[in-house]
């Protein structure tokens, strides 16, 4: 029997229940509807892991809920980083698959938030099918979609572990969120809802490698979360060299979908990783400025994070700054991220790749980042 067959038999998870479903479930059993709010309060506010702990519900109702829903195992098997810097969590799922999430304690250069905020970078799939040439997540291919409960659980488990509230959620971990759109929208609904995790839609960002049809779909989605487009190349020639998705949705098609999105939703952000000798030329900066002006988009420039086994590297600091200055000279708002976590394999998919086959049992490993790395992060 395959893993996907096993998964298709399992009960739906506790952390994927919406208030509407709880109301529906209880109504069908003749229970008063106020019980539904009690159930979501236990799951999303008190964060209990079993129905037995829901002490203000009648025993019979608890048994009925337990028969219908599950609270599957989702353990933290590795933790890299230290409390005051970026922390990276590796989770083992119910079917032994591994996913990772990153906690970034203060993010002044990310999305313009104040610097005392905690951002969590959430995975949406196990692996990724899109195979961008620079990315660790794509290296081992695609295993499966995460369900909404598994996306929400990453936030709940990390908040429980750290004892601190998460302020921002970015879907920039492993996987292509728009290739798992139904589950993504369900997870965002729970993360955003007042009865759920209560994180404002403007503090939720979804990043995509550029699935044009789904970008159009999102334009018609009422929730006001933010969209970030991973551009990484300003011409088909350069983008196509590093992102196979560009063959399916070349820039003309992609940018028309973005025009539609921006007309409906107001704005989107671009991410542009800087890779030495690939996409960091003055010509690319000029083309990028044109695209950004067309869409009134702000650009986050991200120096490439080296991935073991891949040939790419980041440009010199001077080249990064020159690239940024060209954009600014052409009237584009561009930030250059002094990215965190370089020393703990913080680019998506790297920790999983290093760990696959090496984690046999649950052993949480704290690896403090060395002083040298800390100095670099502070400077
Ligand atoms: N699949 C989505 C979201 C996950 S990747 C997407 O591609 O947008 C999140 C971001 O991390 C993307 O912008 C991606 O290009 C970037 N990324 C991947 N590998 C990286 C690396 N080694 N260094 C820096 N950024 C990287
Ligand atoms: Fe997938 Fe995004 Fe990595 Fe590309 S960058 S392989 S789309 S996770």
Ligand lying closest to the C-alpha of residue 171 = 1
Q: Which of 348, 355, 342, 271 is nearest to 313 (CA)?
A: 342
Ligand 2 pocket at CB < 6 A: 128, 130-132, 135, 137-138, 175-176, 209, 230, 348
Q: Which atom of ligand 2 is nearest to the CA of 125?
A: 8
- Cα separation of 44 and 38, whole Å? 10
Mutation probe of ligand 1 site: the residue of 232, 258, 273 with most atoms within 8 A of C-beta? 273
- At 375 the pLDDT is 32
pLDDT along the chain (379 residues), means of 10: 46 90 92 93 91 92 91 89 81 94 70 66 96 88 95 95 91 96 97 97 96 97 93 98 98 98 96 97 98 97 90 95 98 83 49 47 33 34
- Per-residue model confidence (pLDDT) at position 3: 40
> What integer pLDDT is reported at residue 138 of this predicted model?
79
What does the alpha-carbon distance between residue 265 and residue 251 come to, in Å, rounded to a whole number? 20
**Residue 233: predicted pLDDT:** 98
Q: How far is the CA of 341 from the centre of ligand 1 (A)?
A: 14
Please give the Cα distance from 220 to 233 (Å, whole number). Answer: 27
pLDDT at 50: 83
pLDDT at 8: 46
CA distance 124 to 187: 10
Ligand number, closest to the Cα atom of 339 = 1
Nearest CA to ligand 1 atom 18: 135
Among 101, 207, 258, 280, name the best residue to mutate to test ligand 1's pocket (greatest count of ligand atoms within 8 A of Cβ). Answer: 207
Ligand at minimal distance from the CA of 270 is: 1
Six-digit token string for 322: 């020159």
Pocket test for ligand 1, best of 124, 136, 172 (most atoms within 8 A of CB): 172
Question: What SS3 state is found at 231?
Answer: coil
Task: Note the pLDDT of residue 368.
Answer: 30
Give burial (CB, 10 Å; 0-12/13-18/19+) of 340. buried
Tell me the catalytic residues. Answer: 100, 348
Give how far Cα 189 sits from Cα of 4, 17, 148, 253, 262, Å.
25, 10, 9, 29, 21
| Alpha carbon distance 17, 22 (integer Å) | 7
In angstroms, what is the C-alpha Rg of the chain?
21
Query: Residue 49 is encoded by which pair of tokens?
Result: 């892991």
**Counting atoms of ligand 1 from 1, which one is nearest the CA of 121?**
9
Question: Could you please report the per-residue DSSP string of 142-207?
Answer: EEEEPPHHHHHHHHHHHHHHHTS---EEEE-SSS-GGGGHHHHHHHHHHHHSTTTT---GGGEEEE
């Amino acid at each position: 029997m395959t893993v996907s067959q096993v998964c298709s038999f399992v009960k739906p998870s506790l952390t994927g229940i919406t208030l509407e479903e709880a109301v529906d479930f209880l109504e069908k059993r003749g229970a008063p509807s106020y019980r539904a709010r009690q159930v979501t309060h236990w799951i999303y506010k008190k964060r209990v892991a079993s129905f037995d702990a829901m002490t203000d519900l009648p025993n019979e109702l608890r048994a009925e809920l337990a028969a219908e829903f599950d609270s599957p195992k989702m353990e933290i098997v590795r933790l890299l980083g230290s409390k005051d810097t970026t922390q990276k969590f590796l989770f083992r799922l119910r079917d032994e698959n591994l996913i990772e999430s990153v906690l970034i304690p203060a993010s002044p250069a990310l999305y313009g938030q104040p610097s005392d905020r905690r951002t969590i970078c959430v995975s949406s799939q196990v692996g990724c099918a899109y195979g961008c040439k620079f990315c660790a997540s794509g290296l081992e291919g695609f295993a499966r979609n995460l369900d909404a409960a598994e996306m929400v659980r990453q936030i709940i488990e990390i908040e429980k572990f750290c004892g601190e509230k998460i302020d921002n959620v970015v879907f920039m971990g492993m996987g292509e969120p728009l290739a798992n759109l139904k589950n993504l929208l369900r997870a965002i609904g729970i993360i955003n809802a007042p009865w759920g995790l209560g994180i404002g839609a403007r503090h939720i960002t979804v990043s995509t490698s550029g699935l044009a049809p789904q970008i159009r779909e999102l334009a018609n989605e009422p929730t006001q979360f933010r969209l970030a487009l991973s551009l990484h190349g300003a011409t088909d020639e350069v983008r196509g060299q590093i992102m196979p998705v560009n063959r399916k949705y070349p820039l003309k098609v992609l940018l028309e979908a973005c025009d539609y999105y921006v007309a409906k939703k107001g704005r989107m952000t671009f991410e542009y990783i800087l890779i030495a000798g690939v996409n960091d030329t003055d010509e690319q900066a000029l083309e990028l400025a044109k695209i950004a002006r067309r869409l009134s988009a702000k650009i986050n420039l991200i120096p490439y994070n080296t991935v073991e086994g891949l040939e790419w590297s980041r440009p010199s600091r001077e080249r990064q700054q020159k690239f940024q200055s060209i954009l600014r000279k052409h009237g584009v708002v561009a930030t250059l991220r002094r990215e965190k976590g370089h020393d703990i394999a913080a680019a998506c998919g790297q920790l999983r790749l290093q760990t696959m086959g090496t984690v046999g049992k649950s052993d949480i490993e704290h690896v403090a980042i060395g002083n040298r790395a800390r100095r670099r992060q502070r400077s």
